Each structure stands twice: as C-alpha cells, then as structure tokens.
C-alpha cells in the first residue's frame, strides 16, 4: 500500500507492506550516490534490524556507512546532534544526498533535524522500526531534539523524501514498547473513526499475537489518518492538527509527574490521558459513560494504564494542572483541551476551567 502525503512543498510517499525490507535495496538504490548510503540508527536497532538490511544492501552492491546513536531519549540531545552533524560532514554529505534514518522516533527526529540544518538542508528517508514511529512520528515532518528547557523544543518542519514501513520489523520490539505505540493507533479511532475503533476492539488479540495482515491494516489506517490530518494543517496553524493531541494534555501532566522517564512511556501516558479525557467528558455531560468504559477496556486489554494509579502518578490535581499550564502547547493562557462527544467524536474545547480539571483529577485519585 502506498499512502501519499499531500503537502504543498514536499509531497512524498509512504510504503507499507509486511516483508517490505526484503525489497529495501530496490527502494533505496535510487537514493544512493555512487552506490553509497549514509545510515543513522541506534544501539538496539543496530543489533535487531540493521544486520539483515546491511547484508541485503551489500548483496545489491550498495556500500554503507553507519552512525550509531545511544538508545533512548538521550540520543536526541544537543551533544548528540553535534556529533551526528560532524559525522555527516566527515562523510562528505552533499545537499542532494538522502540520509537513511533507521529506528524509532528518536532516530527519526534527530536525523530529520540534522539533515535539515547540515549544508542548509539535505534529504532523508525514514525506515521507522517502532510502532510509534510507524504510525505517528514518521508522518508529518516534525523533527526535533531535546534541550534543557524540555522535550522537542528545538526543531524544524522537514519532510522525508520517502518512508518505508515494514510491520515485520516490530517482531523484535519489546512488548511494552509495542503496547505504548498501540495507544497512538487507538487514538486515530477515537479522534474521528469509530469503525476503526471497532476494528481495534475486534482485532486486538491478533494484532498482539503478530498477525501480519492485521498489523499492516492497523498501521495503514493510522498512517492514512495522520496523513489526512497533517495535510489539512501542515504547519499547525488552523487547529485541525490539534486533534492529534487527544489524551496528550492529561498525558503530558502524567509524564511530567513521572519525570519523563522509563517509569511511564509516552504512549502509556497517552493511554491514561485518553481514558481521563473520556471520563472528564462524561463528567461534563458530553459523552455517554458506556463510551468511556469501552475506551478503558480496550486500552486495558492492551496492557496499558487507564487511571492515575495505573500510571504510578501520586500528584494532586493542582500540581497536575500546573504541569499542563507549562506544556509547550499552551498559548495565550488557554489550554487546548480535547474532549469527546463519543467514540470517534473528538473536538477542541477552548473553555475548559482548569480548577474544574483539578477537582476532577482529585476525584480520580480517590476512586
């Protein structure tokens, strides 16, 4: 399946197919210069995924030079950006070159940003290897690194030239990472696609058992959703793109309270955040209790947290709301709060009273 991301300046294709990596050399050959490619990856992916790809490329006569980042968020620092750009320059990267980003969101984000600034902009190709990167971070062109002030605060919009998604690469991903990525899959159903939510309910067990057709379909639908939303609001000006933040305002507070650490992965925080957003919508009389229950049930079946206590969060409502106030997505004194009238009926509310959110979170902590 090929999904075209329909952007004004830089349209590009996303290919999704189980087993796609076997054809990777054919796809990548046009992007090599003198039969040579620069590849950026991380320690874990270098072990789990790179050897097979390297062998295939080498059999096809493509020589590679590989740069290995430390795994995890530490790979997205200023220091790593400096070393990575130095390496690219030492490899004599040219503006017409395409650097391959092979890995999760960390590798994609820093490689996208590094290629944006090196030589005032060269190109990159994404081969996402986590579920989160396949359904979320590889689509939309946001690239960034972390700085002392917080995550993703230094970056740029830079669209890849091509994205290759092979669901089979998920076979070596740790189960907790797979579940965390699944939260973002469910998110697309909750935003505006009730049929897809139903699909997730019906096929959750096969998805986690590794059924290649189910995995591919779930990824394709997610990528199509994100591509559609991003194309409607490429640089985040009209508000359409804000829908992608469902569960993320609550989630951000939970991540802040757990120190943005491995105690709570981003996708886990989003899962609990979506469950909270639905229960808060019920409390406001917007949404039926039954819908909120279905959301929590599905996330629970995936092994994801749906309550403050599941998420290991002990802060009171006032402190959690304080974290939300400091979220970078806040502008002009209002929080963009995504609420729901039901499954697949999410909307942006601009008049949420933060005191009331704090009371709600205190009640949540009691229950």
Chain positions contacting ligand NAD, by CB under 6 A: 42, 44-45, 48-49, 71-73, 76, 103-107, 109, 129-130, 132-133, 136-137, 140, 142, 151-152, 169, 172-173, 177
Say which of 44, 76, 116, 184 is annotated catalytic: 184
Annotated catalytic residue 252: yes
Annotated catalytic residue 120: yes
- Cross-strand partners of 67: 40
Say which of 98, 158, 215, 266 is annotated catalytic: 266
Annotated catalytic residue 245: yes
3-state secondary structure of 169: helix
Annotated catalytic residue 184: yes
Say which of 83, 236, 283, 301 is annotated catalytic: 236
Least CB distance from residue 33 to ligand NAD, whole Å? 26
Say which of 76, 248, 279, 294 is annotated catalytic: 248
Least CB distance from residue 67 to ligand NAD, whole Å? 14
3-state secondary structure of 259: coil
Q: Which residues lie closer than 8 Å to 41 by C-beta, 6 or more apart?
A: 49, 50, 66, 67, 68, 69, 101, 102, 103, 107
Nearer to ligand NAD, 106 or 358 (CB): 106
Least CB distance from residue 293 to ligand NAD, whole Å? 27
Annotated catalytic residue 234: no
Least CB distance from residue 130 to ligand NAD, whole Å? 3
Say which of 17, 158, 252, 279 is annotated catalytic: 252
Q: Which residues lie closer than 8 Å to 84 by C-beta, 6 or more apart?
A: 40, 67, 69, 110, 111, 114
Structural element, H or E, at residue 3: strand 2-5
DSSP assignment letter at 331: B
Least CB distance from residue 342 to ligand NAD, whole Å? 26
In contact, 180 and 132? CB cutoff 8 Å: yes
Distance from C-alpha of 365 to C-alpha of 249, rounded to nearest angstrom: 17
Annotated catalytic residue 92: no
Nearer to ligand NAD, 142 or 279 (CB): 142
Annotated catalytic residue 226: yes
Per DSSP, the residues of 24-79 read HHHHHGGG-BTTEEEEEEEHHHHHHTHHHHHHHHHHTT-EEEEEEEPSSGGGGSHH
Nearer to ligand NAD, 25 or 75 (CB): 75
Nearer to ligand NAD, 62 or 183 (CB): 183
3-state secondary structure of 261: coil
Catalytic residue positions, numbered: 120, 142, 184, 226, 236, 241, 245, 248, 252, 266
């Amino acid at each position: 399946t090929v999904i075209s991301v329909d952007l004004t300046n830089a349209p590009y294709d996303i290919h999704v197919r189980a087993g796609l990596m076997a054809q990777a050399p054919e796809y990548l050959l046009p992007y090599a210069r003198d039969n040579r490619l620069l590849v950026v990856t991380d320690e874990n992916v270098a072990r789990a995924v790179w050897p097979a790809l390297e062998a295939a490329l080498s059999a096809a006569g493509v020589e590679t030079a590989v740069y290995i980042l430390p795994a995890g968020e530490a790979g997205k620092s200023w220091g790593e950006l400096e070393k990575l750009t130095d390496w690219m320059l030492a490899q004599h990267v040219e503006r017409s070159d395409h650097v391959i980003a092979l890995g999760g969101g960390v590798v994609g984000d820093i490689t996208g940003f590094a290629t944006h600034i090196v030589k005032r902009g060269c190109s990159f190709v994404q081969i996402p290897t986590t579920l989160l990167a396949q359904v979320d971070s590889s689509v939309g062109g946001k690239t960034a690194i972390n700085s002392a002030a917080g995550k993703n605060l230094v970056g740029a919009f830079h669209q890849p030239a091509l994205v290759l998604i092979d669901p089979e690469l998920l076979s070596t991903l740790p189960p907790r990472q797979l579940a965390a990525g699944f939260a973002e899959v469910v998110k697309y159903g909750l935003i505006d696609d009730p049929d897809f939510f139903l699909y997730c309910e019906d096929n959750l067990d096969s998805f986690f058992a590794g059924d290649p057709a189910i995995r591919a379909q779930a990824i394709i639908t997610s990528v199509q959703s994100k591509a559609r939303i991003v194309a409607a609001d490429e640089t985040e000006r009209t508000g359409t793109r804000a829908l992608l933040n469902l569960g993320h305002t609550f989630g951000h507070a939970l991540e802040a309270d757990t120190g943005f650490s491995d105690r709570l992965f981003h996708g886990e925080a989003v899962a609990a955040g979506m469950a909270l957003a639905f229960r808060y919508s019920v409390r406001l009389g917007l949404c039926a209790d039954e819908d909120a229950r279905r959301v929590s049930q599905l996330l629970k079946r995936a092994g994801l947290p749906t309550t403050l206590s599941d998420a290991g969060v002990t802060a009171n409502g006032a402190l959690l709301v304080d974290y939300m106030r400091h979220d970078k997505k806040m502008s002009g004194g209002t929080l963009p709060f995504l609420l729901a009238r039901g499954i697949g009926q999410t909307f942006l509310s601009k008049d949420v009273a933060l005191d009331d959110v704090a009371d709600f979170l205190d009640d949540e902590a009691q229950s």
